Structure 1
Amino acid sequence: MHTNPGDPRINPMRILVTGSSGWLGRTLVPRLERDGHAVIGLDLAPAKTTRVLGSVTDPDLIRRTIRSHGVEAIIHAGALHKPNIETHSTTDFVAVNIQGTLNLLEAAVAPGSTVDRFVFTSTTSLMISGEIRAGAASGAKQAAWITEMMQPLRPRNIYGVTKLAAEHLCRIFHESHRLPVVILRTARFFPEEDDMAHAIPQSDPNTKVNELLFRRLTVEDAAEAHVAALGNAPELGFDRFIVSAPTPFSPQDCAELITDAPAVVARYFPHYQDLYTRLGWSMFPSIDRVYDAEHATRRLGFTCRTGFKEKLEEIASGMRQ
């Protein structure tokens, strides 16, 4: 056993990271290596952060990789994502996101395995139904205040459905094999342009800063959340966490957020409008959901460093220089 398993500053480990060539993987792998861990990156696409080329859908490759490298922890960040819906079939999503997760879990608990913790990168997307996404257009009276206790979950697409199914596999393997598993339901941190639900067409940076109020985090914070989950997994046993930048809002704001989001934001940040005017930016007229990451703060001991407030300060500082 590793010393002080509840402390993120754990002894160096041999860690398998899937999705190591992706946006998160390219940030997470060097972050883990800075802590002294030996990281085995696995991905279909070549990259400096990837040592094993292959797919999580190949159970033999997974078993060989874990055995030959003496893997002690798995961070499963590889997946087909929402944009892949346009290019991949439903069968592909099931094979990668569900069967791929099962392959890793089965290898983690196989006889002789040295794996003692598993971190699964999930998504807040699986908590968003079609009705929530439609927001005011569907007649919603207030923004949805979203915590890990939200039920029932009705994912609106195959991406969310397969990620939710993979979460259930994680839960079953913890219950059946006592494998410590931490699930991170990360909000948006991708660099691509947003979908049209909230997008400000003239400025993608404007969209991303706005979203830090309620449904986004930086990729650096996403990587740090995985580091915290890795260190705390044995102590936690099993848990799932929303990971998003801290919101300034409260549930009492939800009715007005759906009808007049700029007015709510102005109450918390009275000077944001002056800054936005200088940039030619605008706030979303309506906000349909707010992710509450308080559970991660309380139980995981993790809070994102960068939120809306910090971004405003960074932008203002840049203007003064």
Structure 2
Amino acid sequence: MFIGVTGSGGKLGRATVAALRERGHNVVGFDLTGTPGPGFVRVDLTDYGQVLDAFLGVTARHDGLDALVHLAALPVNGLVPDAATFDNNVSVTFHALFAAHRAGVRRIVSASSITAMGFPFETAPPFLPVDETYTQANNTYGLGKVVEEAMAGQLASWHPESSITALRFTNVVDETEYATFERAGDPGYRRDLIGTWIDARDGATAVVLALEAAQPGFEVYNVAAPESGLSIPSRELAGRWFPGTPVADDLGEFESLVSTRKLRERLGFVAQHDWR
């Protein structure tokens, strides 16, 4: 396929572009940062006209997309005022999804977030490991992701062949950041993430799998490493962090408290990288 990737200059974006090219796909990145060339076009995603024009075709670069991976966003609260985080991210996602619809791009994977399901988990989730059925926003970044998922679900119904998959990523770690796991024995480590993480390369694998297995309609998957970022057993962490919260009887010793079972069972996801 010929695939556009927004946010191609980010940590997950770079890994995703590499993974898609390794699978034999042709890729063009859309972002504000990067070197213009055959595989990259500088696009201001806050400008809908630029987004639609870029998706329809760019002279000497491409004449239309088969699929879209939308990763671009302000990545966390705090970079700009809270309302600006929401306004930017929701607007950019609307531009990307609606432009794709107008351009006839029917296969889309879009980045959602653990923030759409309770992060920073100051209130206990209803059960552990928490799965895709639970939605709760506790900040403007998370609220934006909840809105984006709802918007994607509606837009997917506007054409019988449209497929939009939202991937709820947890904290993305690249190969230069593994030193942080020196704190893996500290029960306060990754507490707001309920212990979760994902290697950028494995996150990219999830994108590839979701894109290649896309079916008409809207779907949501959690994307985290199948095992936690701590050396403390997960059941012990659950009891310490969320006393009284029901925990699955078959929870693995170090299994992620954000469930990745759907991703593994439906898409065949297998993580290749582990901090251990």
TM-score, length-scaled by structure 1: 0.68
Match of 2:7 in 1: 19
**Structure 1's 32 and 244: CA in aligned 2 closer, same or farther, altered over 3 A?**
same
**Structure 1's 95 and 256: CA in aligned 2 closer, same or farther, altered over 3 A?**
closer
Distance 1:129 1:244 in 2: 14
Shift of 1:64: 1.0
Match of 1:301 in 2: 268
**Structure 1's 256 and 115: CA in aligned 2 closer, same or farther, altered over 3 A?**
closer
Query: Deviations 1:13-47 (Å, cap 9, x if unpaired)?
Result: 11110000100111111221222222110111225
Structure exhibiting the larger radius of gyration computed from Cα positions:
1
Q: Pick the aligned partner of 2:31 from 40, 43, 47.
A: 43
Distance 2:69 2:180 in 1: 30
Shift of 1:268: 4.3
Q: Which has the higher helix share?
A: 1
Match of 2:246 in 1: none
Match of 1:149 in 2: 133
**Larger mean Cα displacement after TM superposition, 168-177 or 223-232:** 168-177
1:30 aligns with 2:18: yes
Match of 1:146, SS state, is: coil
Match of 2:84 in 1: 92
Shift of 1:304: 1.9
**1:73 is matched by which residue type in structure 2?**
A
Match of 1:86, SS state, is: coil
1:184 aligns with 2:172: no
**Structure 1's 290 and 23: CA in aligned 2 closer, same or farther, altered over 3 A?**
same
Shift of 1:91: 4.0
Distance 2:240 2:216 in 1: 39
Q: Pick the aligned partner of 1:77 from 71, 75, 85.
A: 71
Q: Pick the aligned partner of 1:206 from 160, 175, 182.
A: 182
Q: Pick the aligned partner of 1:52 from 32, 41, 62.
A: 41
Identity of aligned residues (%): 26
Contact 1:21/1:47 (<8 A) preserved = no
Distance 1:134 1:122 in 2: 20
Distance 2:266 2:147 in 1: 24
Match of 1:124 in 2: 114
Q: Pick the aligned partner of 2:148 from 160, 166, 171.
A: 166
Distance 1:71 1:23 in 2: 23
Match of 1:64 in 2: 53
**1:109 is matched by which residue type in structure 2?**
H
Match of 2:213, SS state, is: helix
Contact 1:143/1:255 (<8 A) preserved = no
Contact 2:163/2:218 (<8 A) preserved = yes
**Structure 1's 34 and 255: CA in aligned 2 closer, same or farther, altered over 3 A?**
closer
**Structure 1's 187 and 107: CA in aligned 2 closer, same or farther, altered over 3 A?**
same
Distance 1:208 1:184 in 2: 25
Query: Deviations 1:250-282 (Å, cap 9, x if unpaired)?
Result: xx9646633399xxxxx948xxxxxxxxxxxxx
Shift of 1:154: 2.6
Paired residues in the alignment total 251
Match of 2:240 in 1: 259
Shift of 1:214: 4.2
Contact 1:76/1:121 (<8 A) preserved = yes
Distance 1:213 1:158 in 2: 20
Shift of 1:180: 0.4
Q: Pick the aligned partner of 2:224 from 226, 244, 250.
A: 244
Shift of 1:222: 0.3
Match of 2:69, SS state, is: strand
Distance 1:144 1:240 in 2: 18
Contact 1:129/1:155 (<8 A) preserved = yes
**Structure 1's 222 and 260: CA in aligned 2 closer, same or farther, altered over 3 A?**
closer
Shift of 1:229: 0.7
Contact 1:143/1:257 (<8 A) preserved = no
TM-score, length-scaled by structure 2: 0.78
Q: Pick the aligned partner of 1:225 from 179, 189, 206.
A: 206
Q: 1:263-274 to 2 correspondence within 5 Å?
A: 268=253
Contact 2:117/2:137 (<8 A) preserved = yes
In structure 1, stretches of 5+ residues that fail to align are 1-12, 195-202, 262-266, 270-286, 313-321
